[in-house]
Amino acid sequence: MSDTIAPPLARRLAAECVGTAALVAVVVGSGIAAQQLSPADGGLRLLENSTATVLGLAVLILVFGPVSGAHFNPAVSLADWLAGRRTRTGLTGSQVAAYSAAQIAGAIVGAILANLMFNQSAGQISTHDRVDSGHLIGEIVATAGLILLIFALARTGRSALAPAAVAAWIGAAYWFTSSTSFANPAVTIGRMFTDTFAGIAPASAPGFIAAQLIGALLGLGAVALFHPAPPVAADDVVVPH
């Protein structure tokens, strides 16, 4: 990726916006389908929701990775900036802000789109309260693992595996965390806008987002510990620019 000319920023922001919208539409839409079709068993609903998310997320990273890096996640964009500051690789601070805005806008649109696909009212606010201490530990662990995974692949020249691997990690984290692993501030905000299976009440969102940012920093620490020697411009594999 580093030897190609990066797409213009506007196209990259469009990719982050559309990709995040599609991701949230997959998460919320499959959650609604599971809720409607499997009323009797909460585990089966989560299995349906997580399976659809794994499949959809892998595809979205394949499609948008070559355009914008397919972050779909302010925590990833922030980590890209932090990891690349010294070598002036990675996103700049202002690009992180623009990426995050595009991701959040897309996430909200995605939730509304899912509501509409299932003939629900477009505008909803979740009443699904989720915060407790176990949930916050789970968000930290899931986000730290996500950041470690992305940089481990980039720094060992295996970013072509990122679509399947990131999707697999999120699929596992749906289950091994009690929070079902949001691990993404933009998706957390988007999921406030649906009062269905995958929603999260606005009052729970700040705690989740704080835990995700802590997790991202911990993940960067793990990257420094386990994959400390980035070849020059290695971050380019994550974000072309």
Residues 189-218 that bind its own copies (CB under 8 A): none
Q: Which of 13, 17, 18, 183 binds its own copies (CB under 8 A)?
A: 18
Least distance between its own copies and beta carbon 2 (Å):
15
**In which element (H, E) is residue 76 found?**
helix 74-84
Nearer to its own copies by C-beta: 11 or 85? Answer: 11
Nearer to its own copies by C-beta: 37 or 85? Answer: 37
Q: Which of 38, 82, 101, 202 binds its own copies (CB under 8 A)?
A: 38
Nearer to its own copies by C-beta: 34 or 209? Answer: 34
Least distance between its own copies and beta carbon 142 (Å):
10
Least distance between its own copies and beta carbon 237 (Å):
14
Number of residues forming the site for its own copies (CB under 8 A): 75
Q: Which of 16, 56, 103, 216 binds its own copies (CB under 8 A)?
A: 56
- What is the phi-psi region of residue 229: left when phi exceeds 0, alpha when psi lies from -120 to 50, beta otherwise? beta
Sign, CA dihedral 227-93-26-40, equals: positive
For residues 18 and 108, the answer to whether their CB atoms sit within 8 Å is: no
Q: Which of 175, 203, 206, 221 binds its own copies (CB under 8 A)?
A: 175
Q: How far apart are CA 128 and CA 172, in angstroms?
A: 22
Nearer to its own copies by C-beta: 3 or 88? Answer: 3
DSSP helix/strand/coil, 112: helix
Q: Does 3 bind its own copies (CB under 8 A)?
A: no
For residues 216 and 141, the answer to whether their CB atoms sit within 8 Å is: no
Q: How many CB atoms lie within 10 A of CB 97?
A: 15
What contacts 24+ positions apart, CB below 8 Å, involve 112-116? 112/193, 112/194, 113/21, 113/25, 113/29, 114/24, 114/25, 114/27, 114/28, 114/29, 114/32, 114/194, 114/196, 115/28, 115/32, 115/193, 115/194, 115/196
Least distance between its own copies and beta carbon 88 (Å):
26
Q: Does 232 bind its own copies (CB under 8 A)?
A: no
Strands (E), 4-121: none
For residues 196 and 29, the answer to whether their CB atoms sit within 8 Å is: no
Q: Does 131 bind its own copies (CB under 8 A)?
A: no
Q: Which of 89, 143, 177, 188 binds its own copies (CB under 8 A)?
A: 177
- For its own copies, the binding residues in 71-110 under the rule CB under 8 A are none
- For its own copies, the binding residues in 140-159 under the rule CB under 8 A are 141, 145, 148-149, 152-153, 156, 158
Stretch of 74-82, 90-98, 161-169, 208-216 contacting its own copies, by CB under 8 A: 161-169
